[in-house]
Amino acid sequence: MLAGGVDPSNTDPLAMEPAPGEDWVVTPPHIMIIAPGGFDPALFATEPHAGQPYIMFKDTPYEHLMVPVDRDAVTASHPLALAPTPIAEETVANINAYLDDEFDKGRFTGAALIARDGEILWSNVWGLADRQQGTPNTLDTVFLAGELGTQFTGAAALLLEQQGKLSLQDSICQYLDVCPDTWQAITLHHLLSHTSGIPDYFDARPMEAHELTVKGATPESVVALFRDLPLEFEPGAQRVWSHSGFTLAALVIEHVAGQSYADYMQQQLFEPLGMTHSGCDTPPAALAPGYYWNTAKTPATYDPSSLFGSGNCYTTVGDLYRWNEGLHTGDLLNAGELAKMLTSHAITAYNEGAGYGIVLRDFNGRRLASNAGGPDDYSSISYRFLDDNVTFVAIGNQWMEYIFDIADQVSTIYFGDE
């Protein structure tokens, strides 16, 4: 901590004023200087300290010891920002006890995390990543995100609109090579809000869709399942969840971006947000095997390519945290595009608001943006309390029927009487 230079001749407080355009940031008992300012730069002219900002300790003689600090760390954790509300030990114990019980009942396995104001307050893991090998889950275990990934597709379309490359009010037939006449009035907005009227291929063609989950699929083979089906309702007239709509949205993204859906997601969304364990291409070897039930020992055979655009991405609990922080703090979308994503464009079957890949509802007086997903052998959920800057995410390698109940209960325990 005492590394750095010492200038015994520096006794003039004015000599310690920051350079023009820089500011003092005062938070007792320290003063942080974002730039070296009036200090003799010759003292710090050699690597690794050259050109670095420093911390100056208050209430020491004016020959202040100077300690180099990382500029990115300084700007990422501004000393004047309000510190996140700490999580009480009793609350942690209650959350762990509740999830221990859910794990013992066979209703939860995987990883979970709570963050507030950009700081991780609590995280924990349960169960095995590989039940045959006895490999435990960790915070870095990779799982399929399932339909939670519709958030990714929705944000990708909004990012292209932000870049001026499309409008969500465009007809999808502007961007699709094959587009039936019945789709001419359907817009990207309809696809992302589940109001297109295009039947969900898992409902309309269940046997054929199931076959794709076993043998694998291409985007074309998925579209072939519903391309010739009549619309269930006029575009915009109702809201019915549809994998089909997000498959088409992913194809539009490919057409406009001029690259594969997987590459666009990787380069434009995941990498900028530091989501180094996430992707939408062929799952990595590190992917935890998925299981249908808590007692299953043999992994399920579910090919995520059958969920192109609606659920073929993989991630970790930490990357889901990074996603929420990046999305809701403006690192990815500007305020206007984010507002579109978080606007209720229709009402769900559960009387909740439907954003783009996000469900909006009231949770005990708090505004909540959420989504969940999972094929038959994985489950994931994301809760973002919009006015509290609180994130709860959980993901695991087992179908978890009660994942919403679990998220509700953990959130209730966390907030308590707050």
Q: CATH number of the domain that 401 lies in? A: 3.40.710.10
Q: What is the pLDDT of residues 140-187, one digit of tens each?
A: 999 999 999 999 999 999 999 999 999 999 999 999 999 999 999 999
CA pair distance 396, 111, nearest whole angstrom: 6
Are residues 270 and 174 both part of a single domain? yes
CA pair distance 256, 39, nearest whole angstrom: 52
* Contact status, residue 64 vs residue 8, Cβ threshold 8 Å: no
Are residues 58 and 134 both part of a single domain? no
Q: Is the pLDDT of residue 201 over 90?
A: yes
Are residues 155 and 195 both part of a single domain? yes
Are residues 133 and 223 both part of a single domain? yes
CA pair distance 232, 349, nearest whole angstrom: 16
* Contact status, residue 290 vs residue 142, Cβ threshold 8 Å: no
* Contact status, residue 156 vs residue 251, Cβ threshold 8 Å: no
Q: What is the pLDDT of residues 247-291, one digit of tens each?
A: 999 999 999 999 999 999 999 999 999 999 999 989 999 999 999
Are residues 164 and 281 both part of a single domain? yes
Give how many domains the chain has, as a whole number: 2
Are residues 58 and 142 both part of a single domain? no
Range of the domain at 42: 13-76
Within a domain: 5:
no
The three-point CA angle 114-193-388 to 5° equals: 25
Cα-Cα end-to-end distance for the chain: 38
Within a domain: 4:
no
Are residues 391 and 261 both part of a single domain? yes
Q: Is the pLDDT of residue 45 over 50?
A: no
Within a domain: 180:
yes
Q: What is the pTM of this model?
A: 0.80
Are residues 70 and 94 both part of a single domain? no
Q: What is the pLDDT of residues 354-378, one digit of tens each?
A: 999 999 999 999 999 999 998 888 9
The band of 417, judged by pLDDT with boundaries at 50, 70 and 90, is low
The dihedrals phi and psi of 175, each to the nearest 5 degrees, come to -120, -5
Q: Is the pLDDT of residue 6 over 60?
A: no
Are residues 167 and 213 both part of a single domain? yes
Are residues 151 and 198 both part of a single domain? yes
Are residues 69 and 104 both part of a single domain? no
Q: Which of 384, 149, 163 is nearest to 275 (CA)?
A: 149
Are residues 237 and 382 both part of a single domain? yes
Within a domain: 84:
no
- H or E stretch including 188? helix 188-192
Most confident of 44-58, 79-93, 130-144: 130-144
